[in-house]
Amino acid sequence: MIELALRQSMRCLVVAGVLFGWMVTSSTASAGDASAGSSVFKTECSECHSVKEGRNKKGPSLFGVVGRAAGTIPDYSYSDALKQAHWVWTADKLHSYLSQPAKQANPGTKMKYSGLTDPKQLDDLISYLSTIH
């Protein structure tokens, strides 16, 4: 009896261990490396964007962009295309938006960017942007 119960709980532990391992590896696989992302930001985006709150350059400040509704920095003059964009900048949305030319993702936008095709750089960059709050 005791032996059976022991065997049952061992099996539970193994299942839990496998599940936990899977969770850890799957979350790190999609997470990206924020510090590598910071240099991607410098080379790809900083010509036009700052991550400082309230600091607009050619493009609007990207402070707190992950989780923010598109086109909503009050003192930035957006194109109509972005003003009328009814989406929130989630990690997924940024992923699809930044992986293609901006004018394709949001026709009529004034963001002149041809897209970031390297999936690792894209993951790193989005992880970095998620830390800016």
Interface residue list for ligand HEC (CB under 6 A): 44-45, 47-49, 58-60, 62, 65, 70-71, 73, 78-79, 81-82, 89, 98, 109-113, 116
Whichever of 31 and 63 has its CB closer to ligand HEC, that residue is 63
Whichever of 7 and 133 has its CB closer to ligand HEC, that residue is 133
How far apart CA 26 and CA 106 sit, in angstroms, is: 31
Closest distance to ligand HEC from the beta carbon of 33 (Å): 16
Closest distance to ligand HEC from the beta carbon of 63 (Å): 10
- Residue 55 phi, psi dihedral angles, 5° rounding: -100, 100
Whichever of 11 and 83 has its CB closer to ligand HEC, that residue is 83
Closest distance to ligand HEC from the beta carbon of 26 (Å): 25
Are the C-beta atoms of 95 and 126 separated by less than 8 Å? yes
How far apart CA 86 and CA 76 sit, in angstroms, is: 17
Closest distance to ligand HEC from the beta carbon of 73 (Å): 5
* DSSP assignment string, 52-101: STT-BSSS---TT-TTSBTT--TTS---HHHHT---B--HHHHHHHHTS-
